[in-house]
């Protein structure tokens, strides 16, 4: 037991550091000889390196920097990265003297953490050369560290482009100021590490769950080669190799194809298969789809099970992340058409019915039970005599027919409730708070909640973490990687086959994709959007495809369900309002397809919204190109004013800024990314 505690303490000490890559510190209080000549201590050392990249199950999930979701508390966490004002200083964490939240979106700004861990990896690889531990253990651990170093550098170049390649372990007094290597040089270095890891690591069948094996190496090689081949880093209009992208080569798509095929071949040989149910890869630790995951214990943080479920209903959730209307509109109807297409079967009075089944596993929707909440109670109930606003001179003037509650200093703007006819006559939605007129009588900001990552059979509590795992790699990704590389090589039959394998999942069963050409590309892009919703992929996909300016410059848009009740009211002996409802109606403030599904009974429509960042008014009708046609999507019924911060794209945001603290440490040796 004593030895076990020493090993655990050593691992925890190694995990706790957060210094920059130019800082040095000794190996805690345990001598080098003791660590690197003892199999148990060496294993503990490597165990600590597996935490090098934080998982994305954080309050400020990076989905909230994209068009997928909105982070309700994100002033210093996500919104500064989404509003076009991100700077090298604003990404510096509070613990390092900056303003960025220390524990939110740490999976995005990884520079300091990555180089701290790379130094430890280099130390390990150097010391293993002379270690006395058993050869088989040394080989396996060395292979794991080569993989983990490749993992860190892959994540670095995905965020920053070319970065410093550091292979040596510097001694005190050494000149170890380094420059950034070119993008392609970094890729070559990563590939060499992957080759070394593959030669040393065991097969999946002989490996311990969660530790690196040969298949995990194949998976990382596929992810690496896919984004290396993509337009952001492989641009024919900018063909030279430099710090920010590689030399253009069409062959890079063949590399991506071959790397994805290696994973697909393993699946075809029976090593992996898609889970029968879409939620299998977060509810089943033995899920056959998962290639590599971070597995949680009950004590290592209150993950998604606590952070994402709704706050209301007494179930204990924090609800930090709310999906947006921008995401919802891309879930197809069960016949394979988007809701705005002719013949989709869309019913505006039941806007979320008959959709791709993945919608219901991913998003919490109104009037669909969630745990013990029968109707998800995120509605505006305009009941007779109930909803109130502050009793101020301005509100008395705005709502001349309001009933006054002197005791509570509140107004009831529409004492007898509300009907569609009232909207048609020009009545407005009451303004409830100074901060945001939409947050007073609805818990969620956007009208949607997160169902993905939720385990309905487990409690939601601050005391115990019931989230099981986050899959770093799962088979569906490599089916779609294979499909994408095949498309770029003109192998469209393969593209359709592997998209359709995912759509054939037993609890999905969406119609097969049959398109070709650019329409097939639309299908592929949409399939990744839906399959990986809220899963740490969208941020990087929109950038590597260079489509982020389109999607990241639209406002965060939200729905609102409005239950309108009309009648009269009275007060009981305790003074409480007792409504007498004579009519009830439900309105959905959602996106409208103007071409085939016009809604004539709009509840609260705006033609434009004021974009505070650009100081301009913008239309709320957006063009949407899909399968060779252009549609008009009207968001005028949706809510746009979710927070003081608004999304705004700037091309500098294709890459992350190198933190200003790191720039200062190198005395100008590092070159900053464009635009920063």
At residue 30, the pLDDT reads 58
Question: Taking residues 538-548, what's their average pLDDT?
Answer: 98
Between these two residues, 471 and 607, which has the higher pLDDT value? Answer: 471
Write out pLDDT tens, residues 491-503: 999 999 999 999 9
Question: Taking residues 105-134, what's their average pLDDT?
Answer: 95
Sign of CA dihedral 329, 332, 333, 334: negative
Residue listed under structure tokens 């920059």: 20
Write out pLDDT tens, residues 154-177: 999 999 999 999 998 876 556 656
Band of pLDDT at residue 22, cut at 50, 70 and 90: very low
**Range(s) of the chain covered by CATH 1.25.40.390:** 17-239+658-665
Residue from 423, 420, 428 nearest 399 by CA? 428
Beta strand 621-626 pairing with 577-589: unpaired
Sign of CA dihedral 141, 145, 151, 154: negative
At residue 354, the pLDDT reads 98
At residue 17, the pLDDT reads 37
At residue 417, the pLDDT reads 87
Residue from 116, 121, 183 nearest 665 by CA? 116
At residue 399, the pLDDT reads 83
Residue listed under structure tokens 């550098």: 153
Band of pLDDT at residue 25, cut at 50, 70 and 90: very low
pTM of the model: 0.92
Range scoring the smallest mean pLDDT among 126-135, 438-447, 474-483? 438-447
pLDDT over threshold 90, residue 266: yes
Question: Taking residues 467-478, what's their average pLDDT?
Answer: 98
- Do 365 and 446 meet the contact criterion of CB atoms below 8 Å apart? no
Residue from 353, 438, 363, 397 nearest 640 by CA? 438
CA dihedral 562, 564, 570, 574 (to 10 degrees): -20
Question: Taking residues 595-618, what's their average pLDDT?
Answer: 74
How much of the chain, in percent, has pLDDT values that exceed 90? 65
pLDDT over threshold 70, residue 309: yes
Question: Taking residues 646-653, what's their average pLDDT?
Answer: 91
Range scoring the smallest mean pLDDT among 22-31, 350-359, 573-582, 613-622? 22-31
At residue 201, the pLDDT reads 98
Between these two residues, 332 and 76, which has the higher pLDDT value? Answer: 332
Element (H, E) at 144: helix 135-160
At residue 173, the pLDDT reads 58
Instruction: Among 36-40, 404-408, 483-487, 572-576, name the most confident range.
Output: 483-487
Beta strand 469-474 pairing with 290-295: antiparallel
Between these two residues, 214 and 319, which has the higher pLDDT value? Answer: 214
Band of pLDDT at residue 13, cut at 50, 70 and 90: very low
DSSP of 326-394? HHHTTSPBTTS--TTSTT----TTSTTSSB-THHHHHEE-TTS-BTTBSSTT-EEEE-TTT--EE--HH
Question: Taking residues 276-303, what's their average pLDDT?
Answer: 96
At residue 171, the pLDDT reads 64
Query: From the CA atom positions of the chain, what is the Rg in Å?
Result: 27
pLDDT over threshold 70, residue 16: no
Between these two residues, 263 and 404, which has the higher pLDDT value? Answer: 263
Instruction: Among 309-313, 573-577, 654-658, name the most confident range.
Output: 654-658
Residue 404's DSSP bridge partners are 411
At residue 377, the pLDDT reads 54
Supply the angle between the helices 517-531 and 492-503 in degrees, to the nearest 10.
30
How much of the chain, in percent, has pLDDT values that exceed 70? 89
Residue 584's DSSP bridge partners are 565
Between these two residues, 222 and 559, which has the higher pLDDT value? Answer: 222
The three-point CA angle 488-490-495 to 5° equals 75
Write out pLDDT tens, residues 331-390: 999 999 999 999 999 998 899 999 999 999 999 998 888 887 766 655 667 788 877 788
Instruction: Among 13-27, 289-303, 585-599, 643-657, name the most confident range.
Output: 289-303
> What's the mean pLDDT when you consider all of the chain?
88
Write out pLDDT tens, residues 410-424: 888 888 988 888 877
Band of pLDDT at residue 214, cut at 50, 70 and 90: very high
At residue 601, the pLDDT reads 56
pLDDT over threshold 90, residue 405: no
Q: How far apart are CA 276 and CA 287, in angstroms?
A: 9
CATH 1.25.40.390 fits 17-239+658-665, yes or no: yes
């Amino acid at each position: 037991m004593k030895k076990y505690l020493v090993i655990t303490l050593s691992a925890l000490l190694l995990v706790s550091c957060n210094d920059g890559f130019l800082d040095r510190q000794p190996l805690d209080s345990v001598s080098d000889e003791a660590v690197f000549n003892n199999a148990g201590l060496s294993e503990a050392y490597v165990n600590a390196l597996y935490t090098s990249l934080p998982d994305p199950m954080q309050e400020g999930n990076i989905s909230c920097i994209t068009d997928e979701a909105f982070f309700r508390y994100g002033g210093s966490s996500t919104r500064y990265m989404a509003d076009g004002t991100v700077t090298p200083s604003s990404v510096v964490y509070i613990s390092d003297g900056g303003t960025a939240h220390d524990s939110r979106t740490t999976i995005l700004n990884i520079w300091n953490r990555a180089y701290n861990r790379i130094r430890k990896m280099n130390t390990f690889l150097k010391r293993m050369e002379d270690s006395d531990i058993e050869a088989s253990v040394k080989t396996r651990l060395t292979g794991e560290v080569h993989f983990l170093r490749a993992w860190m550098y892959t994540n670095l170049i995905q965020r920053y482009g070319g970065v410093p390649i550091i292979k040596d372990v510097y001694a005190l007094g050494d000149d170890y100021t380094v420059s950034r290597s070119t993008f392609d040089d970094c890729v070559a270095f990563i590939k060499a590490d992957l080759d070394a890891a593959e030669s040393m690591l065991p097969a999946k069948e002989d490996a311990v769950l969660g530790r690196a094996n040969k298949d995990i190496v194949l998976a990382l090689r596929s992810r690496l080669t896919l984004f290396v081949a993509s337009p952001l880093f492989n641009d024919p209009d900018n063909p030279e190799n430099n710090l920010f992208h590689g030399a253009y080569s069409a062959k890079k798509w063949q590399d991506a194809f071959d790397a994805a095929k290696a994973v697909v071949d393993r699946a075809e040989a029976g090593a992996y298969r898609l889970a029968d149910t879409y939620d299998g890869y977060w509810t089943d630790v033995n899920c056959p789809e998962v290639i590599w995951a971070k597995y949680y214990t009950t004590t290592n943080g209150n993950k998604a099970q606590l952070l994402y479920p709704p706050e209301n209903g007494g179930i204990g959730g924090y609800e930090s992340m709310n999906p947006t209307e921008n995401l919802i509109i891309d879930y197809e109807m069960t016949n394979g058409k988007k809701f705005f297409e002719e013949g989709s079967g869309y019913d505006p009075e039941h806007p979320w019915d008959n959709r791709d089944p993945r919608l219901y596993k991913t998003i919490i929707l109104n009037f669909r039970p969630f745990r013990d909440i029968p109707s998800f109670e995120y509605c505006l109930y305009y009941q007779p005599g109930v909803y109130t606003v502050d009793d101020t001179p301005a509100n008395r003037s705005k709502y001349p027919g309001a009933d006054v509650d002197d005791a509570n200093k509140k107004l009831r703007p529409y004492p007898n409730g509300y009907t569609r006819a009232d909207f048609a006559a020009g009545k407005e939605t009451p303004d409830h708070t100074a901060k945001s007129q939409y947050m007073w009588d609805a818990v969620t900001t956007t009208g949607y909640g997160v169902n993905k990552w939720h385990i309905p059979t487990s409690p939601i509590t601050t005391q115990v973490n019931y989230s099981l795992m986050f899959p770093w790699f799962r088979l569906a990704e490599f089916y779609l990687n294979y499909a994408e590389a095949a498309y770029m090589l003109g192998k469209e039959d393969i593209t359709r086959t592997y998209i359709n394998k995912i759509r054939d999942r037993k609890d999905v069963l969406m119609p097969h994709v049959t398109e070709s050409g650019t329409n097939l590309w639309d299908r592929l892009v949409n399939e990744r959007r839906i399959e990986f919703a809220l899963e740490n992929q969208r941020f990087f996909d929109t950038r590597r495809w260079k489509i982020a300016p389109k999607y990241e410059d639209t406002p965060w848009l939200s729905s609102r369900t409005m239950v309108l009740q009309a009648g009269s009211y009275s007060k009981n002996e305790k003074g409480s309002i007792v409504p007498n409802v004579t009519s009830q109606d439900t309105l959905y403030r959602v996106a409208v397809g103007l071409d085939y599904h016009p809604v004539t009974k709009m509840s609260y429509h705006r033609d434009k919204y004021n974009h505070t960042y650009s100081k301009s008014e913008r239309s709320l009708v957006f063009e949407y190109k899909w399968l060779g046609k252009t549609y008009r999507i009207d968001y005028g019924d949706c809510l746009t004013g979710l927070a003081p911060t608004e999304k705004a794209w700037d091309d500098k945001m294709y890459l992350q800024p190198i933190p200003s603290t790191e720039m200062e440490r190198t005395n100008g040796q590092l070159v900053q990314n464009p635009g920063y």
